[in-house]
Amino acid sequence: MLPDSPVRIRPARDDDRLPLAGMFAEAAEELDSIATEPPVDVRARAASWTIDETLVAVTGDEVIGSIHVGRSGHGFGEVGMTVAREWRGRGVGSVLLAAAIEWAREQGLHKLSLGVFAHNAAGIALYRKFGFVEEGRRVKQYRRQNGELWDAIDMGLLL
Ligand SMILES: CC(C)(COP(=O)(O)OP(=O)(O)OC[C@H]1O[C@@H](n2cnc3c(N)ncnc32)[C@H](O)[C@@H]1OP(=O)(O)O)[C@@H](O)C(=O)NCCC(=O)NCCS
CA of 9 to the centre of ligand 1 (A): 17
Mean pLDDT score across all residues of the chain: 96
Q: Is residue 84 left, alpha or beta, with left meaning phi > 0 and alpha meaning psi from -120 to 50?
A: beta
pLDDT-derived band of residue 4, with 50, 70 and 90 as boundaries? low
Asked if residues 23 and 82 have their Cβ atoms less than 8 Å apart, the reply is yes
Distance CA 154, CA 142 (A): 13
| Element at 9 (helix H, strand E) | strand 8-11
Say whether pLDDT at 61 is over 70.
Answer: yes
DSSP 138: E
CA distances (Å), origin 104, targets 24, 82, 107, 133, 134 = 22, 18, 5, 17, 19
Contacts of 74 (CB under 8 A, 6+ apart): none
The pLDDT assigned to 146 comes to 97
Q: Given a cut of 90, is residue 69 above it in pLDDT?
A: yes
Residues with beta carbon inside 6 Å of ligand 1? 27, 33-34, 81-83, 88-94, 114, 116, 120-123, 125-126, 129
Task: Answer yes or no: is pLDDT of 36 > 60.
Answer: yes
In this prediction, residue 27 carries a pLDDT of: 98
Residue 94 CA, closest ligand 1 atom number: 12
Q: Which pTM does this prediction carry?
A: 0.96
Residue 37: the pLDDT is: 98
Which residue minimizes the CA distance to atom 5 of ligand 1?
A: 93
Q: What is the pLDDT of residues 95-151, one digit of tens each?
A: 999 999 999 999 999 999 999 999 999 999 999 999 999 999 999 999 999 999 999
